[in-house]
């Protein structure tokens, strides 16, 4: 077992910091965040507060928990697959989260705590709320910076459906946490298990995968690596389906589309020695 605390800086000009408790044990990495949930206003309805808290926890789980894994390749490594778990623990000495029951505004996070509005800014749809809960957790759990224009001084802007980017414009369903937000986990792990020991480490998204491009000879392994049911936001994505009595797998598309339906057979294109499988939504 290896344990540590990582300090990361985030926010405008890296003006805030967060402490990340991280542990590697039994081929799993766990990031634990202790949180003190504060009902605000204090007189707010208890059941409304619990519901809000649960929605907040669900959003973290959906966007971040087990969304990436490390893979060690080599014949003599301690593990092959190492999923990264995000665990929230309620603790009175934890990071203070002012849960603004029933209110609507922006939700700032800083070194000493955050204020989470139950509803996003006026004019944004309800679907935005979960994105914003998880976005704020991206700051205070992972130490990720903002990636949208305007609040990212000295940090790069990304337009790739990032949870830390402008999902109001790019789409709420499409937003996802990115490998770069977990890069520090890989760096930490490699500090303890240097790749020079014949066990190189790669950081891999667990899902959803809407598209894969692999050398034809690796296609079978890539399909076996797919989940059997849609993961993450559950959007239309590649899944494997048990196909033959011998236990082989076929590849299908399953999940939700914002409009239309998820076409069950992926399109397949060949280019040189690579093959691309892609899911699409269509009428
Ligand atoms: Zn932010």
Helices 127-140 & 46-63, crossing angle to 10 degrees? 70
Q: What is the pTM of this model?
A: 0.79
The alpha carbon of 274 and the centre of ligand 1 are apart by a number of angstroms equal to 38
Q: What is the CA 128 to chain-centroid distance, rounded?
A: 16
Amino acid 206: pLDDT: 84
d(CA 152, CA 164): 10
The alpha carbon of 95 and the centre of ligand 1 are apart by a number of angstroms equal to 17
Query: Among residues 158, 129, 155, 127, which one has the least CA distance to residue 143?
Result: 155
Amino acid 134: pLDDT: 97
pLDDT digits (tens, 9 = 90+) for 122-147: 889 999 999 999 999 999 999 999 99
Amino acid 230: pLDDT: 86
pLDDT at 254 over 90: yes
d(CA 140, CA 17): 8
d(CA 218, CA 275): 9
Bond into 146 cis (ω within 30):
no
The alpha carbon of 14 and the centre of ligand 1 are apart by a number of angstroms equal to 12
Over pLDDT 90: what percentage of the chain? Answer: 66
Tell me if 43 sits within 8 A of 175, measured CB to CB: no
Q: Return the higher-pLDDT residue of 47 and 198.
A: 47
Instruction: Name the band, by pLDDT with cuts 50, 70 and 90, for residue 240.
Output: very high
- Residue 52 exposed, middle or buried by CB count within 10 Å (0-12, 13-18, 19+): buried
CB count within 10 Å of CB 92 equals 9
Instruction: Name the band, by pLDDT with cuts 50, 70 and 90, for residue 3.
Output: very high
Q: What is the mean pLDDT of residues 34-59?
A: 97
Amino acid 232: pLDDT: 67
d(CA 254, CA 42): 44
pLDDT at 233 over 70: no
The alpha carbon of 139 and the centre of ligand 1 are apart by a number of angstroms equal to 7
The alpha carbon of 239 and the centre of ligand 1 are apart by a number of angstroms equal to 32
The alpha carbon of 124 and the centre of ligand 1 are apart by a number of angstroms equal to 16
pLDDT at 94 over 90: yes
pLDDT at 207 over 80: no
Q: What is the mean pLDDT of residues 82-102?
A: 97
The alpha carbon of 254 and the centre of ligand 1 are apart by a number of angstroms equal to 31
Q: What is the mean pLDDT of residues 246-265?
A: 87
Instruction: Name the band, by pLDDT with cuts 50, 70 and 90, for residue 277.
Output: very high
pLDDT digits (tens, 9 = 90+) for 22-32: 999 999 999 99
pLDDT digits (tens, 9 = 90+) for 152-206: 777 899 998 899 999 999 989 888 999 999 999 999 999 998 877 788 899 988 8
pLDDT digits (tens, 9 = 90+) for 106-127: 899 999 999 999 999 988 999 9
């Amino acid at each position: 077992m290896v344990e540590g605390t990582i300090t990361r800086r985030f926010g405008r000009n890296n003006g805030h910091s967060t402490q990340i408790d991280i542990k590697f044990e039994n081929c799993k990495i766990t990031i634990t965040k202790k949180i003190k949930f504060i009902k605000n206003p204090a007189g707010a309805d208890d059941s409304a507060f619990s519901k809000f808290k649960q929605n907040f926890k669900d959003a973290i789980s959906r966007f971040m928990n087990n969304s990436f894994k490390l893979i060690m390749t080599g014949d003599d490594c301690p593990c092959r697959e190492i999923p990264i778990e995000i665990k929230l623990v309620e603790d009175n000495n934890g990071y203070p989260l002012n849960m603004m029951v029933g209110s609507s505004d922006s939700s700032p996070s800083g070194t000493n705590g955050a204020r989470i509005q139950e509803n996003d800014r006026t004019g944004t749809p309800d679907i935005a709320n979960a994105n914003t809960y998880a976005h704020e957790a991206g700051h205070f759990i992972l130490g990720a910076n903002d990636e949208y224009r305007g609040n990212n001084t000295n940090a790069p802007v990304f337009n790739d459906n990032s949870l830390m980017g402008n999902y109001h414009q790019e789409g709420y369903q499409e937003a996802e946490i990115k490998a770069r937000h977990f890069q520090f986990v890989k760096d930490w792990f490699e500090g303890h298990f240097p790749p020079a020991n014949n066990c190189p480490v790669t950081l891999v998204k667990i899902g959803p995968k809407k598209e894969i491009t692999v050398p034809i000879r690796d296609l079978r392994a890539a399909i076996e690596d797919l989940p059997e049911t849609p993961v993450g936001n559950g959007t239309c994505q590649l899944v494997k389906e048990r196909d033959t009595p011998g236990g082989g797998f076929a590849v299908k598309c399953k999940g939700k589309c914002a409009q239309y339906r998820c076409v069950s057979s992926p399109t397949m294109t060949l280019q040189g020695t690579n093959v691309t499988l892609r899911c699409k939504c269509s009428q």
